[in-house]
Amino acid sequence: MTSNTTDIINLGPYNVSLTPGYTTVVNVGNWSGTATFFSTGQTIEVAVECSFEVTPVTCVESCFASTTRMMLANGSWAALTDLTTGDMLKCISDVDSSVVDCPLTTVRHVGHSTAFSVVALQYEDAHGVEQELQLSKTHYVFVANESLGAGCNTQLPAGSYVEAEAVAVGDLVVVFDESGCLLVTSVTGKRWDTAVGFYSPLTSMSTVVAEGLVASSYTGGFGFTHWLQHIFTTPLRETVESDRAVVDYADGYHAYSEAAMGLMGVDGAVLAGQVEAMVAQYEANGGTLSRAELEAIFGLEL
């Protein structure tokens, strides 16, 4: 959006004193321009005359909007902004597709107050209440091939991980409720929007429950499938990085993710060979990979 108006902004309490009529250049969030301070004391009001434009960024990692609620291991809900690495969440097992508890191990991309483009998917939760999940366009969502049978189901049905922008109204998705049951429902609406603030949480398992919906921790970035992303992030998944609050992570990419950006410039045929070597090593190790092994395969410093 673009504005060329004069606005009055209350900057809140500051322990400073300014002379009325003093003119200076200020930057307030997305605002910048010449401001005239016309009051003194702890509350400062400024008249800002400027032209500004806010362009939403695209989250390359698998980002959820900052207000997204995650289901905790005890069945309660907590917004991403209230989580700490090490917190136990409800996840889907990568071994048998059952519901399990798993730790939040790190956050790979952070934009505390950054506007970013989202796909907003609407669906009914396990209680028949309309819900919405806002996530980056290439973030994988689990789409079921068929409905589940009657009763309390505790394992995912057959299905696949689809990028959010490719999910269509009517597609079957899976929701989870506090009683521990999975239910297949359908997407009732889809829209594009802009959200402010995003996080890319990583857990030891590949799949989490966000706003009641079963969704991946990964994105289609680098052309990697859900499972290839899971293998590539093995060193970050296997160890809880710290006991840091999500809101205390610095804006920007985790060093591991930033280093991985180097893959975007690799020749397609070369990258395909590296990916094949990664999968072979992962399987030879019995389902694990060290940081050193990945660095040797891809020629990166992770």
SS3 227: helix
Q: Kindly report the CATH class assigned to 64-226+239-251.
A: mainly beta
**Residue carrying structure tokens 């399990």:** 100
Report the C-alpha gap between 232 and 222 in whole angstroms. 11
Instruction: Say what the pTM is.
Output: 0.79
Q: Beta strand 99-124 with 130-135: parallel, antiparallel or unpaired?
A: antiparallel
Which of the residues in the chain have pLDDT under 50?
1-58, 60
Residues 130 and 52: beta-carbon distance below 8 Å: no
Nearest by Cα to 200 from 116, 300, 99: 116
Per-residue pLDDT, 178: 81
Per-residue pLDDT, 17: 32
Say which amino acid occupies 267. Answer: D
Per-residue pLDDT, 57: 45
Nearest by Cα to 38 from 54, 56, 24, 27: 24
Per-residue pLDDT, 180: 86
**Residue carrying structure tokens 């998705």:** 173
Sheet holding 6-13, edge to edge: 6-13, 43-49, 31-37, 22-28
Per residue in 191-232, pLDDT (tens digit) is 999 989 999 999 999 999 999 999 999 988 777 899 999 999
Q: Where are the domains of the chain?
A: 2-53, 64-226+239-251
**Facing residues of 190 across strands?**
121
Per-residue pLDDT, 54: 39
Report the C-alpha gap between 158 and 218 in whole angstroms. 19
